[in-house]
Amino acid sequence: MLSKEQMLGKYQILDRLGAGGFGTVYLAEDKLLNRKVALKVPHHQQDEQSLLQEPRIMAGLKHPNIVELITVEKKDDTFFMVMEYVDGESLDKYIRRERCLHPLRALDIAIDVASAIGLAHSHKVIHRDLRPANILLTAEGVAKVTDFGTSRVLATQDLFARTRIGSPPYMSPEHFRGRAVFQSDLWSLGITMYEMLTGTVPFYDADPVKIAQAFQTQPVVAPHLKNQAVPKAFSEVVMKSLMVNLGERYLSAHALLEDLRRLKDSMAKETRPLGSAGLPVMKTPPSSQRPSTNTQPRLCRFCYRPLPRNAATCPSCGEKG
């Protein structure tokens, strides 16, 4: 673990931004260029080929909605990735604060993420851990996908990624079976859209197996039935992203992105002429009918285990929420 003010080559550590299963991310200042960057330091430093896997994937993904990899370095026997610092917040923190997002805001974020995932898929890269904690929002509100630590390149001979790794509430049924495909990322985005619109994921249980079983045995309540402010057309896009049958789900990120953009055009035409700053004509439900997040436990953004009520620190992984 690096300490505040510590120098790592030309980088001065300013703060710890967070930690995950594969590494810790620090805010640092490049003392030569006088700019802030994010340093990702993997927990395990031994296998160089494994260390280079994520940066080699990210090096080919240049997109305004993907956090940029600047370079990789090794100083004082510590390998680390130097990445763009996003001066904003993660989508999960945003959702936690707002409870549920205005449909137009959720739509803009979904379009950004679908565009990023489409680019990754065109490079044969499957993310495998797409969720609000891995989506950063800039101060201008632009969404950027990050953390490709669990990503894999699906070569021509590989029909699916076999390792079952990811965050259970956002994993597709085929991902649970160790057969993740590009459409599995679209499922994860569908769950993320669902959470933005309703404040909750469709199903949660401390036992990941029960989550997978729930999608197979229980119907998902459509977002517009949980939040009256959600247009039915938007709800239908989300539900198509969550089809268990791959043939009924969106076949590509491009197809999903096209529907999201058409939906945005349609919603833009339904705006009030004056005094609404471009917001769609939607009836705001009374407080008694607004979606409640009390039916599911608050979850840690790092290990995704339940947090005790009002807890500031996760008792499972020790991270601050």
Catalytic-residue membership of 129: yes
| Domains of the chain: total | 2
Q: What is the CATH number of the domain that holds 261?
A: 1.10.510.10
Mark whether 68 and 215 lie in a shared domain.
no
pLDDT at 299: 60
Burial 140-158 (b: 16+ CB within 10 A, else e): eeebbbbbbbbbbebeeee
Tell me, yes or no, whether 209 and 230 share the same domain: yes
Q: Which of 55, 84, 113 is the last residue of a domain?
A: 84
- Yes or no: say if 231 and 220 are a contact pair by the CB < 8 Å rule: no
pLDDT value of position 281: 42
Give the residue from 183, 48, 173, 49 showing the smallest Cα distance to 127: 183
The confidence score (pLDDT) of residue 270 equals 73
Claim to verify: residue 156 and residue 33 sit in the same structural domain: no
pLDDT for 46 equals 76
Q: Are residues 26 and 60 in the same domain?
A: yes
Question: What is the domain extent for residue 237?
Answer: 88-289
Tell me the backbone φ, ψ of residue 119, rounded to 5 degrees. -65, -45
Same domain, 120 and 174: yes
Last-in-domain residue among 84, 108, 129: 84
Does residue 63 belong to any structural domain of this protein?
A: yes
Residue ranges with strand state E in 127-263: 135-138, 143-145, 152-153
First to last CA, the chain: 19
pLDDT in tens, the chain (321 residues): 789 999 999 999 999 998 877 789 999 999 999 999 999 998 888 777 788 888 998 998 999 999 999 999 999 889 999 999 999 999 999 999 999 999 999 999 999 999 999 999 999 999 999 999 999 999 999 999 998 877 777 654 444 454 556 689 999 999 988 888 999 999 999 999 999 999 999 999 888 889 989 998 999 999 999 999 999 999 999 999 999 999 999 999 999 999 999 999 998 877 544 444 444 444 444 444 444 444 455 565 544 456 677 777 776 656 665
- CATH, residue 27: 3.30.200.20
Residues 263 and 136 in one domain: yes
Among 280, 262, 260, CA closest to 102: 280
Compute the C-alpha angle 192/227/284, nearest 5°: 125
Are residues 106 and 71 located together in one domain of the fold? no
Active-site pick, 129, 147, 185, 205:
129
The pLDDT, as a whole number, for residue 164 is 52
CA angle 57/42/84 to nearest 5° reads 60
Specify whether the CB–CB gap between 131 and 188 falls below 8 A.
Answer: yes
Rounded-to-integer distance, Cα 100 and Cα 40, Å: 30
In terms of domains, do 79 and 118 share one? no
Whether 53 and 105 share a structural domain: no
Question: Residues 164, 243: one domain?
Answer: yes
